[in-house]
Structure 1
């Protein structure tokens, strides 16, 4: 199996590969537990001052270039790596799962109550043979313990966590021992999109690395967090 080329990005890194999906599927096939981190400019800047997050990112088995800022950073240094949005990698894994892993469970964890269930329903309409267990991200202490017991019992081989950055990275790092042979991946707001609560940017914005602008249009309260992008680009140019 081709090993990714790890490229430094400020105090963290990103992995360069031609096909991230096949790499992850190969890890599933060989029952190699894997933490996938979706790196964007906001996360890279947060890791500058948060040593715990920085360690989690750098210790991940696969770090994909999720954000436009990361791609710009790489291009400024002569790398021609294509962007790999986390939502697209997760979708490609779910599509493959419908044909190669139909008996193995998948877990959706995160979002507001009902969102993970609606996201699972969308996928089940397309691939009825999938087995998806779900839970929302607002659990009581008792419910959280019950969910952990469910993961131990069910041993889902693909666990998608939509708790937002950096909460999902911390949660995965703390709990991946529950399913040591599984793929654990933070997917941010992907459940909201699959559930139909939000929409992705039009294709032309995505192709021009402007998906962040559409996200800001949908969620103007994010403007403070979006300030990380120009700060990151200034660091990239230095």
Structure 2
């Protein structure tokens, strides 16, 4: 039975990082496709404007709080989540886990060459995962069937999709019935960081929930997008004071 916390109509799994890893490993023993998404405040707010995205998040097999804002929202609601579970960290823990030696991975997304660099850097760090296929994220609708065939023929267990949110979530949802994999995870900019093309915030910023501030400093052009962070918290507070009526089925 899943333990979830409802935040603006979206059920976030109340799990620690270790628990989330164990859930994903459990998915690997089941013969069906499982979806794992890692929403932050921006994605949670986008889902309030986009009913399709909200439905997709609600139907995930595992939905973890990638941002400190999501954890803060749970505290405002009086049902605190255990901790932030960053998608980048969860993916890297899966790579390093002993069980990963028997797992096949497929990297889908990123600019041409980025996923290859990410894999090479992992191997250089002695993280010897089995990557059975790589495809960049620059493809047309007409190429999707061939990409899905390539994924299925590769005998992969875990499909990592780095197309950016919400495109990656919508792509996984639209194609999950065609995929012969066990786990699909939306991983955002993970390949860029692993390839050395982008840097995460220093540990101080990560521990204090200030990655958004570091990102804004490095990429000031993101200012308009980041306005969704205070909008999200204000909406949570407003909903706490005057709860929104549940949507009719």
C-alpha distance in 2, partners of 1:196/1:134? 17
**Structure 2 segments unaligned to the other structure (5+ residues):** 239-249
Within a 5 Å distance, the mapping from 1:88-167 to structure 2 comes to: 88-96=89-97, 99-125=98-124, 126-128=126-128, 130-141=130-141, 143-167=143-167
Aligned residue for 2:188? 188
C-alpha distance in 1, partners of 2:136/2:218? 22
Instruction: Report the more deviating stretch, 210-219 or 167-176.
Output: 210-219
* TM-score normalised by L of structure 2: 0.88
Within a 5 Å distance, the mapping from 1:1-238 to structure 2 comes to: 3-18=1-16, 19-78=19-78, 79-96=80-97, 99-125=98-124, 126-128=126-128, 130-141=130-141, 143-238=143-238
Give SS of 1:191's match.
helix
C-alpha distance in 1, partners of 2:24/2:222? 31
Q: CA deviation at 1:59?
A: 0.5
C-alpha distance in 2, partners of 1:15/1:150? 32
Q: CA deviation at 1:172?
A: 0.4
Contact 1:155 1:179 (8 Å CA) reproduced = no
Contact 2:118 2:192 (8 Å CA) reproduced = yes
Task: Give RMSD over aligned pairs.
Answer: 1.7
Contact 1:158 1:184 (8 Å CA) reproduced = yes
Contact 2:95 2:129 (8 Å CA) reproduced = no
Q: Deviations over 1:100-134 (max 9, x none)?
A: 24354201111111111111111222233523421
C-alpha distance in 2, partners of 1:62/1:189? 19
C-alpha distance in 2, partners of 1:47/1:124? 36
Q: CA deviation at 1:30?
A: 3.0
Q: CA deviation at 1:179?
A: 2.8
Contact 2:159 2:181 (8 Å CA) reproduced = no
Give SS of 1:65's match.
coil
**Structure 1 segments unaligned to the other structure (5+ residues):** none
